Structure 1
Amino acid sequence: MPSAAASPHDVRVDSGGVELVGDHWPAVGASRGAVLLLHSGAQRRHSWRRTGQWLAEAGWSAWAFDARGHGESDRSPDGDYSISRLVDDALAIIDDIGEPPVLVGASMGGMTSLIAEGERGPLARALVLVDIVARIESEGSSKIQAFMRSAPNGFATLEEASDAIAVYNPHRPRPKSLDGLRKNLVQHDDRRWYWHWDPKILVRGSEPELEIRYARSKVAARNITIPTLLVRGGQSDIVSEEGLREMHELIPHAQSVEVGSAGHMIAGDDNDVFTSELLQFIESTPRV
């Protein structure tokens, strides 16, 4: 278990006039390198809290940022939340870190990492894609979109929000405390609770559209030369076995691991197993 000593520092990075807010867990002792953690859509940097602590305790300097339009980071003034814009943000963060990090991305953050490294690399020392592949399952993607659209008027209580999550993610145990959920919602003047991300993220639909993103991500994947780990949730409705096999064809040197007890949100469903697999992988990667 991580100790309380591994507490993060607040960091801020400018990306084309958009301020990105993050946490930095300095390595305990001499740093073995940097790890950049990019969260999934509709989540926040706090989803990486335990992972960041574990990494710091193991000697890694860990960074996690709220994506634009999420949490404390600025919203896009033009409503642009495309993968290309998120890639620009990732490059600004990496430039600020000052060394090639291990890029760890979940879902949206994983697609951002894949496109960034495949189109703009070399950027990183290694790549970890958490329940994301080139061709994602449309049924699972539609389920996520439906969940994100399901409460346009917010929730009267945090308990209502917890109920909505339980319907979307029934295999995950209900938390005993709602304190963690409070970080993902904000209470407006009407006293109702709203998700802590810009609703304009959904205005553009599935941006970029699945087939366009598929063609682009395949090309990016073929360009990946750095050590790569593919992490799939055993109960994922986003990454199929066929999609995983295709990724191994696109990135032949990639390793893969399945977290059997987890769904799409692997780090939240089984953080201990996920972080153990992550550490085992990155400790084998050469420093650049």
Structure 2
Amino acid sequence: MNSYASSGTSQPRLDFVSCLSPAGLHRMAYWEWGDPDNDQVLLCVHGLTRTGRDFDALARRMAGRYRVVCPDVVGRGRSDWLANPAYYAMPQYIADMMPLLARLQPRILHWFGTSMGGLIGMALAGLQASPIDKLVLNDVGPRLEWEALTRIGQYLGKAPAFRSFEEAKAYVRTVSASFGDHTEDQWSELTRNVVRQADGPEGSWTMHYDPAIAQSFQTLDPAMAIAAEAALWQVYDSIACPILVVRGERSDLLSEDTVEQMLIRNPRARRADIPGVGHAPTFMTPYQLDIAEDFLCRS
């Protein structure tokens, strides 16, 4: 294990890459762990309202083996907000990964995607000559249950302000209850990853994403979801690398039936189930981290 091996006190480096949308240029932030010269890259991409810091525990575990890179998708975390919110959609998120990959120049690329991050990875892995060598789809697949999308839409895009960090933490625990049981310290970490404090010692706390990310999401209807599902199945079927499909036992977004279809339709896929968790497993516990490490490093 090299000098960049993981440790409980290690912290990531922050950098930015320039990306292009039809509205102009924007910067995408990314958090980087491990040896910057390592050409074995683990790229971890977060869910819809989360940030790259969600992968701190996974990155610490893997930093001795990989250069671990965790972007803040545009409109989230330290990344810029788009001048035109109409482009907060999958085509832009996918396109933004290309300048990042061009900078990283991985010889081996493993992708860990939670929810939205899994959809981005699925789209890239389904391309001809895709650079992705292994793919983890964390509680996401080609079919997304409409009831879960409706649930997410109930809080997405709202911009609540909190008088204290503890109040913000209570809110995050409520909207993220499906993450399952976590310690107080873990809930604090999950909250710090997605809130920021206004200037001043008594500044209010707000969510760390552009509320406008909800605009394209809220135009989705069942007919559009069905059409998108058909396209996603085509993409999924064409993925040629090993796939680990992770499902939270209580997930309302990724159904048991969808996972079974994924295993049948792509022989390179295998599954892992996380008991006591809904959408989506956070990979902060040793048990969950062992599952990821076993697939990425020893399969």
Structure 1 counterpart of 2:228, one-letter code: R
Paired residues for 1:48-87 under 5 Å: 48-57=55-64, 59-79=65-85, 80-87=87-94
1:273 to 278, 281, 287: 287
Alignment deviations for residues 216-260 of structure 1 (CA, whole Å, 9 cap, x no partner): 211110110111111111121111101111212332220111111
1:115 alignment counterpart: 123
1:196 alignment counterpart: 208
Separation in 2, partners of 1:256, 1:238: 16
Unaligned runs of 5+ in 2: none
1:260 to 275, 279, 283: 275
Q: Report if aligned partners of 1:6, 1:56 keep a CA contact under 8 Å in 2.
A: no
Cα–Cα, structure 1 residues 138 and 180, in superposed 2: closer, same or farther, change >3 Å?
A: closer
Cα–Cα, structure 1 residues 215 and 121, in superposed 2: closer, same or farther, change >3 Å?
A: farther
Cα–Cα, structure 1 residues 120 and 87, in superposed 2: closer, same or farther, change >3 Å?
A: farther
Unaligned runs of 5+ in 1: none
| Mapped pair 1:244 → 2:259 | yes
Q: CA deviation at 1:207?
A: 6.6
Identity rate of aligned residues, in percent? 20
Q: Report if aligned partners of 1:82, 1:207 keep a CA contact under 8 Å in 2.
A: no
| Mapped pair 1:139 → 2:143 | no
Q: Report if aligned partners of 2:159, 2:207 keep a CA contact under 8 Å in 1.
A: no
Structure 1 counterpart of 2:44, one-letter code: L
2:32 to 18, 21, 24: 24
Q: Report if aligned partners of 2:54, 2:193 keep a CA contact under 8 Å in 1.
A: no
Q: Report if aligned partners of 1:234, 1:262 keep a CA contact under 8 Å in 2.
A: yes
Separation in 1, partners of 2:204, 2:143: 37
Q: CA deviation at 1:174?
A: 5.5
Q: CA deviation at 1:41?
A: 0.8
1:182 alignment counterpart: 192
Task: Decide which moves more: 34-43 or 77-86.
Answer: 77-86
Q: What TM-score does the superposition give when structure 2 sets the normalisation length?
A: 0.85
**Number of residues paired by the alignment?**
281
Secondary structure of the equivalent of 2:31? strand
Q: CA deviation at 1:89?
A: 1.1
Separation in 1, partners of 2:123, 2:298: 23
Alignment deviations for residues 142-175 of structure 1 (CA, whole Å, 9 cap, x no partner): 21221324x4342222222222233334443352
Task: Decide which moves more: 253-262 or 157-166.
Answer: 157-166
1:12 alignment counterpart: 16
Cα–Cα, structure 1 residues 194 and 6, in superposed 2: closer, same or farther, change >3 Å?
A: closer
Separation in 1, partners of 2:214, 2:44: 23
Separation in 1, partners of 2:212, 2:43: 26
Structure 2 counterpart of 1:220, one-letter code: V
Separation in 1, partners of 2:111, 2:218: 23
Separation in 2, partners of 1:120, 1:73: 29
| Mapped pair 1:222 → 2:229 | no
